[in-house]
Amino acid sequence: FDSFLSDEECDHLITKGYESGYERSEDVGEEKFDGTFDSVKSEGRTSENAWCSDESGCRDDPIVKRIIENMSMVMGIDAANMEDLQILRYEEGQRYHSHHDYIEIQRDRQNGPRILTFFLYLSDVEAGGGTRFTALDPMITVQPKKGRALLWPSVLNSKPRDQDPRMDHEALPVEKGTKFAANGWIHLFDERGPQKRGCT
């Protein structure tokens, strides 16, 4: 979707990222004794991110609420099924190697697996920084454009708890400029309730 976000909305999310604090992005690590998982820094994921959460006050911001409501309306899925927005910053040379947004351990949890990714581009990039879908034949690369949004599935339509293997993707290195973006991950069931109870 081109022009899904206005310039004001893009700039506002970037500012909210700075207010929440950008930190080095991490991947899911080893399972702990209580069923939660460690996070680990990865050489294949060198971006920084900030969480637009209730704790930081970001999720209750009026502009953020409007963005989330618009995402919900496009998908026809309640906003309660969405994780907090993850706001991303990629400086020159930073990237994220080919990966999938589906997390196997969530499959049978109360919130169910991630079924969709709603990806928001918050800035233009002078060179590089595209999103390449590496398992498609031919591969498809989408270039960053301020206000653009992508929506793709993580699961099979016929089996919404099972991973769609075609949706591996990577963030190509930024060659010139800074890339700002945001991940919106949508679950099969309510995410907000279980998250507040520590059950995700």
Find out whether 147 and 156 touch, Cβ atoms under 8 Å: no
Q: How far apart are CA 86 and CA 141, in angstroms?
A: 21
Q: Which helix (H) or strand (E) holds 16?
A: helix 7-20
Q: Which residues on neighbouring strands pair with residue 171, listed in sequence order? A: 96, 131
pTM of the model: 0.89
Q: Going residue by residue through the chain (200 aa), what tens digit of pLDDT does each one get?
A: 999 999 999 999 999 999 998 987 655 545 655 555 555 556 677 889 999 998 888 999 999 999 999 999 999 999 999 999 999 999 999 999 999 999 998 998 889 999 999 999 999 999 999 999 999 999 999 999 999 999 999 999 999 999 999 999 999 999 999 999 999 999 999 998 877 777 66
What pLDDT sits at residue 56?
86
Mapping DSSP to helix (H, G, I), strand (E, B) and coil, where does residue 7 land?
Answer: helix
* Degrees to nearest 5, angle at CA 64 with 178 and 150: 55
Q: Which residues on neighbouring strands pair with residue 38, listed in sequence order? A: none
